[in-house]
Structure 1
Amino acid sequence: MSPTAEEIVRVAAHWIDRGIRLDTRTLAAELGISRTTLFRRVGNREDLLGDTLWYMGDRTLKAAQRDWQTKHGSAVRDPDGQLRCLEVMRRYRADIAGNHGFRQFLNDEPAVAIRVLTDPQGRVQPRVMTAHVELLRRDVEDGGFVPVVSLENLSYAIVRLGEAFLYSDVLASRAPDLAAASTLLGALVEGRVTAPEPTVGL
């Protein structure tokens, strides 16, 4: 049976996860279809990359949510006071940064990767924005925090700032600093920054 668009995306995600360059000719051959059929079902290579990267990101985000549920149930904050949405977002960024296949794709094709990942009209960023709005909305509805701007604007700021840190090695030749990203995003959401305790000399 000829593969569906969803099945093509899953195979493509497996390729990226293993660090294999996504070549549409080779992928079509592996799937037993022509490139024309491949393009008809999933679009061109960048369209396929967009759907594939979102598929991987969505699975990562859902895994972070399941992990919170396992550890803390329906609580909006953990025992240390960390807000659920912020911890889920932190875990999401950490797992993406730690995916070796994704990092290889980013290193091998930086211009393509950034274009696909950050295009506001593309197949990744709008979905990421929507997913972040829903994370924020759930915590607002459960009494976790009171936003000072619309959830859409807050999500936009979170996603764009997160991208700036997550892809900083490509965007600005800086090593990604996910701890700094989490601190700044916490300030955006909760309106405050928790500074480390000062060290008292003896």
Structure 2
Amino acid sequence: MSHRTEGKPPPTAPERDCTPPPSRDDLLELARARFRVDGLFEMRELADALGVSRATVYRWAGNRELLLGEVLWDLTGRTLAWARDQARGDGAPYLVEVFERFVVAVDESAPLRRFLLRDPELALRVLTSRHGVVQTRLVAAVRDMFRAAEERGSFRPAIDLDTLAYAAVRLGEAFVYSDVITGTDRDVRRAVDVLRLLLRGM
């Protein structure tokens, strides 16, 4: 004996959630967003917001210091790229203008200032350690900028580019973070003046 089903819609399978699971890219984006607002973040908070375990967050990021390094490098790299786009001319004047725009923007970064105030020891370790990604990548980016000017024939460095790039980055750090490092007032314009004299001497 058959059952009549006329007039009734056929059974349908339950809808599947097509949202992809969280990934490392989602973690980085969330960490960047939290940093822009608070100047810091906690790994547990990121895990809870993404709906994953803390073990997963640590597997993706390594640890909070490494994740902070990636977030700060993203901010730093974007700022340097903006400074390069805004600067005009070529040779030493162009390089000095890039440096000036960059250090002023970093000095005026509200999220970075909040980070430095909330945890100065951690901030300096992440920002200025030669073992961290921020300083290492920034030195490499500055060296590439100097090399490009040299290859265009508009800049003739008197010392090797590795040393010059490292010196420029450390110069910026010394003045931008002087209030945290030595307790003295910040004066990024002095850093620009010193770099201008350094490059003109070449």
| TMscore range, shorter length | 0.7 to 0.9
**Number of the residue aligned with 1:60:** 79
* Structure 2 residues without counterparts, runs of 5 or longer: 1-19
Equivalent residue pairs, number: 183
Describe the SS at the equivalent of 1:149: coil
The letter of the residue matching 1:43 is: G
**Number of the residue aligned with 1:136:** 146
Is the CA contact (8 Å cut-off) linking 2:39 and 2:113 kept in structure 1?
no
**Number of the residue aligned with 1:28:** 47
Distance apart, 1:145 and its partner CA: 1.9
The letter of the residue matching 1:4 is: S
The TM-score with structure 2 as length reference comes to 0.85
Among 6, 15, 30, the alignment partner of 1:11 is 30
- The answer to whether the aligner puts 1:117 opposite 2:131 as a matched pair is no
CA RMSD of aligned residues (A): 1.6
Report Cα offsets for 1:5-59 as digits up to 9, x if no partner. Answer: 3332222122121125311100111122211111111110101011111011011
Q: Give, in whole Å, the separation in 2 of the partners of 1:176 and 1:87.
A: 19
Is the CA contact (8 Å cut-off) linking 1:25 and 1:35 kept in structure 2?
yes
**Number of the residue aligned with 1:84:** 94
Alignment of 1:167-186 (within 5 A): 167-186=177-196
The TM-score with structure 1 as length reference comes to 0.85
Structure 1 pair 2–187 and aligned structure 2 pair: CA distance change class (3 A): farther
* Structure 1 residues without counterparts, runs of 5 or longer: 193-202
Report Cα offsets for 1:65-119 as digits up to 9, x if no partner. Answer: 2223xxx4xx416xxxx62222112111111111111101011100000011111
The letter of the residue matching 2:59 is: R
Q: Give, in whole Å, the separation in 2 of the partners of 1:3 and 1:137.
A: 40
Q: Which structure's CA Rg is the greater one?
A: 2
- The answer to whether the aligner puts 1:155 opposite 2:150 as a matched pair is no
Distance apart, 1:133 and its partner CA: 0.2
